[in-house]
Structure formats: structure tokens, C-alpha cells
Amino acid sequence: MSIHATALVSSQAEIDPSAEIGPYVVIEGKVRIGARSRVLSHACLFGETEIGEDNIIHPFAVIGHDPQDLSYRGEPTSLVVGHGNTFREGCSVHRGTPSGGGTVVGNDNFLMANSHIGHDCRVGDSVILANGVLLGGHVRIADHAFISGNVVIHQFCRVGRHAMLGGASGYSKDVLPFCTGSTGKINQVMGLNVIGLRRAGFDADQRREIKDAYRTIYLSGLSVSQALAELDRRPLGDLAREMVEFVRASRRGICRHAR
């Protein structure tokens, strides 16, 4: 185990022998750090937090601190981080609240400088949060989403998988899977993440299926409920059905199409 002499590590912490703890790191409480994970200088970790294997936490990141919730009274709450994640400089990830079930970050995510994951969020796998992204409490980000710089997402919102959100935009409604959010706009999508879908290996038939569902939801002139009813009458593939069920499960409503 490599723990720098200047690091302050709680006696309650459990650190894998292959992990690396850099200079002036502070680890407080019941923090568990898995194999080959690296915590670089001046980062701060707080328990109850579980960090998996092969993560790297850069300087001045704050991982597992108290939730920013006025109702929080110091109760034990949790953050669980998977494997292979990168937390860049100044990144902050908060533990959950007692009633929220805890904060969870999956695997192979890349969180750039000064991005923030609020309490009780669920972030999937292979997600990118660019510089300055802010996720309010209870936000859900599905696998392979790309959130550009300085995007703000309101609490309890959802972003579907393979969505790509343009920079400096804001969302208080849900963003459907496979869609592209409009740069600099509020609650608007402008089409499909076509390049991202191609790079992810979606073939022409799959992209056509997604496009047909998008057109029905956004470009048919039907209301959302009418569009869902129309799609329910069709023989849908798995991807179109995923979009339909995402819309149907929305509690905050979905973003509108940019016109």
C-alpha cells in the first residue's frame, strides 16, 4: 500500500494494498478504496463511501461529502462508486439523503473539472460530464450519455442513454434516449445523436427505427399521449419501445422539439 506521509487517513478507512494515496489527501470516516485506485494530492474523501477498482481521483476533488439538503441532520448515508472512473480537478460527488437511497456512480465514467453530482443521483456507465456540469439531487443519467460543458440539470430529471446535451443548456424536463439537446437553450432537443449512434455501432435499421419513433413523438403534430397511442398500434422494435416507455415513465414531462 502506498500512502504518502502527509496524507491524513481515518482509522476506519479500508484501503486495498495496491491503492495509492497521494500527498495531503484527507480520508475521513468509513471510506473503502478498491484495488489499483489512485487518490492524488489534496483530494478529500468522506464516508460512508465505497470506491471500486481502478478509479483515479484528481487534486481537490471532494468525494462522498454531506448532501446539500437543508433537511439533512448528519444521518449515515452512502455513496457507491464502481470501477474505472476518472474524477478530475475540483469534481464533487455527494452522498445521498436518508430517504433517497444513496448516490450511485457506475463504471468507466469521465467527470471533468468542477463537475458536480448531487445527492441521490444515479449515473450509469460510460457517461461523460464535461467541465462545470451540475446535476441536482435525484437526477438519473443513463449509460453512454454525453453532457457538455456548463449544462445544468434540475433535480429528479432523467437523461436517456446515448443522449448528447449541448453546452450551456438547462433541463428541468426529461431528455429522451438517443436525442441531442440544443446548445444554449432550456428544455429543448433538436434531433437525434446520429454521429454518436453510428460510433456506438447502431446499424442503419436501428437508426431508422429510432428516427421513426422520434418523428412520431415530436414531428407528427400529435400530442404526447396521442403519439404514444399511435406508436402502441405499431409493431415496435426494442429501441423504439425503449423511447416509448421512457416517455410514459416521465414524471416531469419531456423536452420539447426546437423549432
Catalytic residue annotation:
119-120, 137
CA–CA distance, 92 with 63 (Å, rounded to integer): 6
How many degrees, rounded to 5, is the angle at CA 184 between CA 121 and CA 117? Answer: 15
3-state secondary structure 156-221: CCEECCCCEECCCCEECCEECCCEEECCCCECEEEEECHHHHHHCCCCHHHHHHHHHHHHHHHCCC
Residues whose CB falls within 8 Å of the CB of residue 18, separated by 6 or more in sequence, listed in order = 1, 35, 36
CA–CA distance, 133 with 151 (Å, rounded to integer): 5
**212: phi then psi, degrees, rounded to nearest 5:** -65, -40
Tell me if residue 99 falls in helix, strand or coil: coil
- Do residues 41 and 89 touch, judged by C-beta distance below 8 A? no
